[in-house]
Chain A
Amino acid sequence: MPIEKFNILESTCVPLPMQNIDTDQIIPARFLKATSREGFGENLFRDWRFDKNGNPKPDFALNRPGYSGKILVGGKNFGSGSSREHAAWAIYDYGFRVVVSSFFADIFKNNALNNGLLPVQVSEDFLKKIFTEVDKNPKITLKVDLENQEISLQSTGDTFHFEINAYKKSCLLNGYDDIDFLLSKKEKILAFEQLQNKT
């Protein structure tokens, strides 16, 4: 089941300049009761986005009319906490295709990559620059080029080279999926099991 291919994306972004944005904020546990993958975007950042009565909180970035786009920019240690893949599904379902931060929690990063959501890890300085520029003008765009592993701030021309595992990169560029890959390794897995049973 192929994931959506990713190559180059240029878009405005939504800034969340907070550290330690955990998966309970991204999608609170009480919204994990669904048995399908769809529709979690509705409750993305539920308790930051809406008040008790379900009215949008005007100050929250997703509710501010100036901010939009397919790139979410968060502070250090994004996606910490629970392994719930629902967090990656919710961000994707809302319409984001890239999350930028100076540091990602491991499980979130894996979950994002497995769903065609690209986590782009930048330096603290570059992250600060993005926040400053977006604060000045919400309409500025970021360009993410996966092939060349570059993210650039179009308003200033600043560019950052980001790291990504070569295997994961090729999965995203080509829309490959890990399970198809693992299924193609069945022979080796069976051989491993035989060896393990002997020892």
Chain B
Amino acid sequence: MEAKTLFDKIWDSHVVDSVKNGPDILYIDQHFIHEVTSPQAFTGIEKRGVPLFRPQKTLATADHNIPTQNQELPIREKLSQIQVKTLTDNCEKHGVQLFGLGHPHNGIVHVIGAELGVTQPGMTIVCGDSHTSTHGAFGSIAFGIGTSEVEMVFASQCVLQPKPKKMRINIEGKLNKGVTSKDIILYIISQISASGATGYFVEYAGSAIRSLSMDARMTICNMSIEMGARGGMIAPDKVTFDYLKDREYAPKGADWDKAVEKWKALKTDEDAVFDREININAADIQPMITYGTNPGMGTFIDGKIPELEDIIPESRESFQKALNYMDFTPGMELAGHPVDYVFLGSCTNGRIEDIRAFTSLVKGRKKAENITAWIVPGSKQVEKQARDEGLLEILEEAGFQLRQPGCSACLAMNEDKIPSGKYAVSTSNRNFEGRQGPGSRTLLASPLTAAAAAVTGKITNPADLID
């Protein structure tokens, strides 16, 4: 039998039909929706007069466009209120399960899918959100789609997709002090650029990946799209199964045993061939931070911004434009640069381990006076767990507060906007111009680095603050 990659195995077993010289019709096991990219798709099927084909395979949450304070009150911003209400009405009308604002299961779509056990190995998963790649951490094929494709899933539980090329990134070895999964993915993107994996689906492998928890694996898969990849995935193993066991939507009893047996086969065959393979030594990675306006513009915190002559000629203009926006200069050192805001949260780093990591570093220290910090849990469950574990008290003692869950300042659709010209060390995924508010200047980093900035008031290597 032909040797197959993990990706091939799942993809091939979900092809309903292939269009000659065209895309595959791919069956979707799980569809997630949220308030921003679904309304036009609901309108679409209604206009066509077709029903939602498999409503029980779609799960909805409100996350992108909601406040992270006073969620018990009506949403103040009129357009946001209408959008969230539209989602509620649509879900009711079409029989879709909704974890709306205030529901104990509410949260960022890519956080709740995993923590509820909805996301499982071997599945095909889509959502009208590019960070759907997060779910690939469980050994599933998960990718972001546009609203027209959301409508396709509503109408047929399928999408039309050309099969992407395959890439494997192997990371071997032990991680250095202060290095987290966020640093791994920022390092990878800085090496292959923000478009280096476009057209590919990536499998992450190697001993450094195997050593990571599920929360940490999700951070890596989450940012696959930031190097252009259609998605990222990691073969399921004991870590995956232990995480999923007893979660609300995970199989139970004999079904569980059967499922695990099946999931164990989900790995790349030894002789399988990838279109591109990259090898990285974990020891080469140090805590990372971005300095520019795309996630590929990253460097070691203790490093320097590249000189203009280090940049290939056709990219120099864009490089200089990015530095102008950030008010940085080529060749400058980043450590010690003052910071104004710290944002901990998002589908990249809004899970319980991220809050634990942040808390571990600020424990016994105080928030720097120049810092405004927004700590936003990824879900109601994460929020509750942070309270139950006593993290909230430690955070409060150090001068921080916990907000309510949502996408928040990651994309600044709600009122959580970084003011123009201000620097924010952010655990989110994009440092695009204006992403966190018009004129905002984003420095992407890990929760540990965010914590280090929060207590020192400047860009600081967290390895210098931990034992």
Contact = CB atoms under 8 A, between A and B. Distances in A.
B195 A183 contact: no
A55 interface: no
A186 B435 CA distance: 40
B22 A76 contact: no
B151 A179 contact: yes
A115 B147 CA distance: 10
Q: Determine which residue in B19, B20, B64 has the highest number of CB atoms from chain A within 10 A of its CB, and name it.
A: B19
Interface in B1-26: 16-17, 19-23, 25
Which residue, of A84, A105, A179, A181, has the highest number of chain B Cβ atoms within 10 A?
Answer: A179
Interface string A23-67: 011001110111111000000000100001000000000000000
Chain B's interface size range is 35 or more
Given A30-B412, A179-B44, A196-B27, A105 B228 contact: yes
Nearest to B132: A83
Given A19-B315, A24-B435, A1 B412 contact: no
B432 A83 contact: no
B412 A83 contact: no
A37 B151 CA distance: 13
Contact of B156 (A29, A106, A124, A185): A185
Contact of B21 (A29, A115, A165): A165
B195 A114 contact: no
A38 to B, nearest CB: 10
B333 interface: no
Contacts of A198: none
Interface string A92-115: 000000000001111100110011
Interface string B214-237: 000000000001001010000000
B86 A19 contact: no
A150 B293 CA distance: 33
A88 B202 CA distance: 26
Given A1-B47, A114-B148, A188-B17, A167 B79 contact: no
A76 B144 contact: no
A114 B420 CA distance: 35
Contact of A83 (B39, B144, B151, B156): B144
Given A18-B318, A167-B19, A183 B156 contact: yes
Nearest to A19: B318
A168 interface: yes
Contacts of B23: 165, 167
Interface residues of A, number: 56
Interface string B369-411: 0000000000000000000000000000000000000000001
Interface in B398-436: 411-413, 420, 430, 432-435
B152 A20 contact: no
B156 A186 contact: yes
A165 B145 contact: no
Contacts of B158: 182, 185, 189
Given A29-B411, A33-B413, A192-B27, A47 B318 contact: no
14 contacts: A29-B412, A33-B413, A47-B434, A47-B438, A52-B438, A77-B228, A82-B411, A85-B37, A85-B147, A103-B198, A107-B130, A110-B149, A167-B21, A193-B27
Interface of B: 16-17, 19-23, 25, 27, 36-37, 39-40, 43-44, 47-48, 50, 64-65, 79-80, 82-83, 86, 128-130, 132, 144-149, 151-152, 155-158, 160, 162, 164, 194-195, 198-199, 225, 228, 230, 293-294, 314-315, 317-318, 321, 411-413, 420, 430, 432-435, 438
